[in-house]
Amino acid sequence: MKRTAYYAKMDTPFAHLYMASTQNGLCRLEWMRSNEERFFSWLRSHFDDFYEDPLLHEPIINQLKQYFDGRLKRFEVHFDLTGTDFQKRVWKALMDIPYGEVCSYKEIAQRVGSPKGFRAVGMANNKNPIAVIIPCHRVVGHDGRLVGYAEGIDIKEKLLVLEGRTIRNEKIVLDSKR
């Protein structure tokens, strides 16, 4: 059976976001700061055909615009995720982290039933196919340090500040929100 995806691009205050969907839902949302070829290479490796379709993505783009404007705290999006069972459990746990809150890799590992699996949680975060909406930016080191964000700590910091967190020296001020 032929697999088809549709994609769109949007500008954000921080960088471009590229997104791809199937008939079942959003399958990729990726920061693109320089080379868009990585995104298209991913599309070519996972789909037989892909087409640009901004209208299909309009509801997602509108939600993202509201998020970046500080008006949206929770996304309503259907997903078509590809990953291991463990990765999917981690990604679901990430979606349960409330807007503006953070937790550690160890806490996520405990939530997904793998208390010593904080490194595996980090790897699942690194493979997160849906940036921003599956909020891996809300996961920090056990001491509040901003660690492990594929598109750079600067974007992670901007997202957390957008959500009301105070950051000093690449570290969350854990006991306060702006």
Amino acid type, 138:
R
Q: What is the pLDDT of residues 11-69, one digit of tens each?
A: 999 999 999 999 999 999 999 876 789 899 999 999 999 999 999 999 999 999 999 99
Name the residue range of residue 17's domain. Answer: 4-68
Question: Which runs of E-coded beta strand occur in the chain?
Answer: 4-11, 16-22, 25-32, 49-52, 103-104, 139-140, 165-168, 171-177
Q: What is the pLDDT of residues 137-156, one digit of tens each?
A: 999 998 999 998 888 899 99
Answer yes or no: is 95 within a domain.
Answer: yes
Whether 51 and 125 map to the same domain: the answer is no
Residue 120: CATH number of its domain: 1.10.10.10
Q: Which of 23, 41, 68 is the last residue of a domain?
A: 68
Whether 100 and 25 map to the same domain: the answer is no
Residue 53: CATH number of its domain: 3.30.160.70
Q: Which two tokens stand for residue 44?
A: 């070519």
103 in active site: no
Whether 89 and 63 map to the same domain: the answer is no
Q: Quick check: 39 and 28 in contact, CB under 8 A?
A: yes
Task: Look at the chain and report how many structural domains it folds into.
Answer: 2
Amino acid type, 74:
R
Q: Quick check: 143 and 171 in contact, CB under 8 A?
A: yes
Q: How many other CB atoms are found less than 10 A from the CB of residue 171? A: 16
Q: Which of 15, 41, 68 is the last residue of a domain?
A: 68
Q: What is the pLDDT of residues 91-114, one digit of tens each?
A: 999 999 999 999 999 999 999 999
**Active-site residue, from 19, 29, 136, 162:** 136
- What percentage of the chain exceeds 70 in pLDDT? 97
pLDDT at position 35: 77
Q: pTM of the prediction?
A: 0.92
